[in-house]
Amino acid sequence: MEFKKDVRYQTTHEWSRKDGNEIVVGISDYAQDALNDIVYVELPEPGDSFDKGDTFGVVESVKSASDVYMPVSGEIVAINEALDEKPETVNEDPFGAGWLIRVKPSNPDEWNSLLSVEEYEASTQEEA
């Protein structure tokens, strides 16, 4: 199980990484492992706006479907269209090519409420 130190997390298993004035979002290695073989990813349209904590999409696997939640309020500026053809990329490279969305935050201070790698790792151990 990989817990990246250069990202922030949510207890709902999304990771977020700052990239300039945008935030790249995906699901954690823990989440993709729990879901198992991902077969479909439903993402919003660029230009859609959401509040922190809103559901922005769904990741479906052979086992179940899971909602994915916004780490910060903002506008979707890009989605990972490659996942339409290869949703299993989320399993293969959850912190890289398996990213889900890019967000332009409307309230950048919300970043500070996300979990550190240590806090997130502790929360996954409580779940087990």
Q: Where are the domains of the chain?
A: 8-113
Contact 113, 9 (CB under 8 A): no
* Fold observed for domain 8-113: OB fold (Dihydrolipoamide Acetyltransferase, E2P) (2.40.50)
**Cα torsion angle, 94, 95, 99, 100, sign:** positive
Tell me what pLDDT residue 126 has. 82
d(CA 64, CA 82): 21
Whole-number Å distance between alpha carbons of 65 and 31: 12
d(CA 70, CA 85): 23
Provide the pLDDT for residue 104.
98
pLDDT averaged over every residue in the chain: 96
Q: Is the pTM of this model over 0.75?
A: yes
